[in-house]
Structure 1
């Protein structure tokens, strides 16, 4: 019954999209990234009549939203995805930095090797977030497991811990990072970088708005 009702809703949406191709609905889920937010804003400016629903969460949560149909499009960190029906295309790369409080002893450094941080306390995202997976991977490459003392779901709570000197974190350079409060330190070895991909579910209905958005990002 649930699947039948869902098919009916999809049918209604297809008819509405056909009659009003410049309008419609677009649900986008994304990892935190200035690049992603900027591209969504640019598309929204060009297509102001589309009804947008935006959700920011971790990569695994985004995949689940695509699988369930709760999101049309996703932006995820390029980590291994088991579901072969989720199509992911790389669209952007950004460097990751160690972020510390300006009062932290490490703030005197402009760059360092990740292995020198093996005894530091890390504050980061919970398992399932792309940045957490990447941090664990980079630390493993450097020869250690990070000593994680706080796991959160919001960047604001992670940065609150960093600002008090409670720990350090790994993140891209974001506009929300107050450079008077935080110091960004370049990681020399291993080079820490995140690739972001645009994702959607194969063999499922994509509205004209979703197709336009994918083409917009790919162009």
Structure 2
């Protein structure tokens, strides 16, 4: 049996005293205000003030200090509040897993995906899953590839559809879901609109409209330009594929985009590239994080239904 030193025992006693106050410490860190922290916890403000004082007494130093008309955490308070926030996330995750272990059909999935996938792929996956799991609740998070990967890394998203797969990140794992062909979208009156196929190197003189850096399509476009030996002339950058496509319709440039489903909109012609260009869409999740039964069920549904 391990023998604890007196200092270890003192730390353990302090941890026991502070453990019931994790939510309060987290609320203080987030609000930096006793009144708002009390409102967040549904606790009377005098009770919150007494608990803060009691925590300071247990520590042997105050956790807050005056700041204008309010308060701020001391250095010691900030250290404990950061640890409390991490501990609360762990406890909340464990509570969620325990609840869903009892009733996985009443669980919750936070599902991230790229904007382009919200048109048909994601709705089809959700419709199929909800047919057999009608009680599961989803929170949907959309954004750039980098934004979604960051959300996965911090645990704010459970599963995500991204392209390309993040093979560069050892903290994430996943599997390929489908391959998607990428086409050159040009204005209907563009000189390339009548072509049956086009090589990417032929686009060296064209103006591009594209998504901002951090989006998977932008990474692919930059790579294709580099492989073709030119730097793209970028006229406009956007955050939504529909906006990019609209700029193409307005004659402001050409764009690398997936096929528009259910059909190419008026004013745009989609020209296949030679050789054929595709991107792999994959489902990914944090490698080291235990997933709940509900998240696992949805992950397995995606694996078998695409």
- TM interval, short-chain normalised: over 0.9
Q: Which runs of 4+ in 1 moved over 6 A?
A: none
Displacement of 1:103: 2.3
Report the equivalent of 1:45. 131
Q: TM-score, normalised by structure 2?
A: 0.67
1:121-132 paired onto structure 2 within 5 Å:
121-132=207-218
What 5-or-longer segments of structure 2 have no aligned partner?
1-83
Higher strand share: 1
- RMSD of the alignment, in Å? 1.7
Change in 2 beyond 3 A, CA 1:70/1:177: farther
2:95 aligned with 1:12? yes
More helix by share: 2
Deviations 1:39-79 (A, max 9, x none): 23322333221111112212111111111111100111125
Q: Distance between the aligned counterparts of 1:59 and 1:177, measured in 2?
A: 25
Q: Is the 8 A contact 1:97 1:186 kept in 2?
A: yes
Task: Number of aligned residue pairs: give it.
Answer: 218
Is residue 200–residue 274 contact of structure 2 (8 Å, CA) maintained in 1?
yes
Match of 2:301 in 1: 216
Q: Which has the higher contact order (CA 8 A, sep 6+)?
A: 1
**Any gaps of 5 or more consecutive residues in structure 1?**
none
Greater Cα offset, 79-88 or 45-54: 79-88
Q: Does 1:134 align with 2:220?
A: yes
Deviations 1:25-49 (A, max 9, x none): 0011112233344223322333221
TM-score, L = length of structure 1:
0.93
Q: Is 2:153 the partner of 1:67?
A: yes
For residue 203 of structure 1, the aligned residue among 285, 288, 296 is 288
In structure 1, which of residues 182, 193, 212 is the aligned counterpart of residue 278 of structure 2? 193
Greater Rg by CA: 2
